Amino acid sequence: MPGILTSITIRNGFLSTPSKEVLGMARRMASQTGDRVAAALVGAKVSSFSEELAGWGADAVYLAEDEGLAEFNAGPYLKVFEDIARAAEAHTILFPADSMGMELAPRLSCRLGAGLVTDCVDFELRDGRCVFVKPVYGGKALARVRATTSVSLATVRPRTQEPWTSETRRGIERIIVAPQLHTIPPETALIECIEEEGEEINLEDAKVVVSGGRGMGSAEAFHQLKQMAKMLGGAVGASRTAVDAGWVAPAHQVGQTGKIVAPDVYFAIGISGSSQHIAGMGGSKIIVAINKDPEAPILRIANLGVIEDYRNVLPALIEELGKLLNK
C-alpha cells in the first residue's frame, strides 16, 4: 500500500528528536490523506527500536540490519534506502535535515528521478498533492513548493514539528529488508572516528541556549557563557564568526549553516543578528539580546534587549541568577 516513508536516525543509542518530529509531520499528513506511515530503520543492532517507532506514529517499519551498516556510509546506505523506497512504493519520503538526511536525500532523489524540496517547515495539501513550505531569503519569506514528479522527497528542518503522541497503543508491521552490501563497490572507507567532547545537554534539545558572537572578543570570554548555561541547565551556542575565530568548537554554531534551535529562552550575547544566524534561532520562544550597538538587527526580534557592553552586564546577571537559583 503506497503511503508516506520517513527516515529514522539513531543517535548515541537513542531515537533522535528530529526523527520523532518527521514522524509527527508524516502523521499529520496521513490524518488528512488516509495514507499509511512507514519508517526506514537502517543500521546495526537497531531492531529494538521498532516497537518504539509505533509509539511515535509509524504504522510499519522497514528494517535493514547489518554490521556493515554500523557506521554511516553514503554508498551502502543509499543502496538500502533505494531498495526500501521502491518496496514501500511511497509517494512522499521525508528526511530529517540532519547530516545523514542532507547527504542521502539528494542522492536518493537522483536515483528515483524524484523532486526534492529542502529545509521544509510545514506542508499544505492542494488537490490531493503535497505542497511544502520552506523559508527563503534568510527566513524573511516563505515559499510554497510542489514537486511535479509522482514521488516527492523533502528534508524537514529540526525543531519545526511537534512529535506525534497518542494514548492509544499501536501495533506495527515489520518488513525485513536484506541489505545486499556485497553488490556495492566501496567508494570511501572509515579510517577513524573521533568523538568530539560533548556537552551534558544537546544543543538542539536544550530548553535554554546561551550564545555568544563576535562581540565576545575572545575564547576566554566564552567561559562565562558556559558558567551561565550550566547554572540554567542549558547549552552554549555561538555565531559563525565566533566559530570561525576559533573561540568555540563548530558543534556550537547556530544558524543557517549550523544547528537549528528553538529553546524556551535564547540569550544572544555580543551577536549582531545576521539573517543567517536568525534563521537558526528565530523560532525561540523568548529571545534576550545583550549588545552595545543600538542598531544591531538582533534587537529587532528580541523580546528583551539590553543596549550595553556585555562586560558590564554579564557578571551582574550571573550573580543575580545565582542568588535566585540558590533560594
* pLDDT tens profile 204-240: 889 999 999 999 999 999 999 999 999 999 999 999 9
Task: State the pLDDT at residue 256.
Answer: 83
Element (H, E) at 240: helix 240-244
Same fold, 3-183 and 203-325: yes
CA distance 185 to 195: 27
Question: Per-residue pLDDT for 170 more than 90?
Answer: no
Q: Which of 89-98, 178-187, 259-268 has the lowest mean pLDDT?
A: 178-187
Quick one: which H or E segment has residue 306?
strand 304-306
- Name the least confident of 13-22, 148-157, 167-176, 219-228: 167-176
The predicted-structure confidence for 41-55, as pLDDT tens digits, reads as follows: 999 999 999 999 999
- From the list 257, 184, 186, 246, the residue with the least C-alpha distance to 216 is 246
Rounded Cα distance between 319 and 219, Å, is: 21
* Range list of β-strands (E), the chain: 3-7, 10-11, 14-15, 36-43, 60-65, 92-96, 115-120, 122-126, 129-136, 141-145, 152-156, 173-176, 208-212, 235-238, 265-269, 286-290, 304-306
- Which three cell numbers, joined as nine digits, stand for 11? 543517535
Model confidence at 57, in pLDDT bands (50, 70, 90)?
very high
**What's the pLDDT score for residue 327?**
75
Domain ranges of the chain: 3-183, 203-325
Q: Fold for domain 203-325?
A: Rossmann fold (3.40.50)
| pTM exceeds cut of 0.75 | yes
Of 97, 74, 64, 95, nearest to 175 (Cα)?
64
CATH number of the domain at 3-183, please? 3.40.50.620
Q: What is the pLDDT of residues 126-164, one digit of tens each?
A: 988 899 999 888 777 899 999 999 999 999 998 889 999
pLDDT in the model for residue 199? 60
Percent of the chain with pLDDT over 90: 74
Higher pLDDT, 204 or 246: 246
What local confidence, expressed as pLDDT, does residue 238 receive?
A: 97
**Dist. CA 208–CA 232, nearest whole Å:** 7
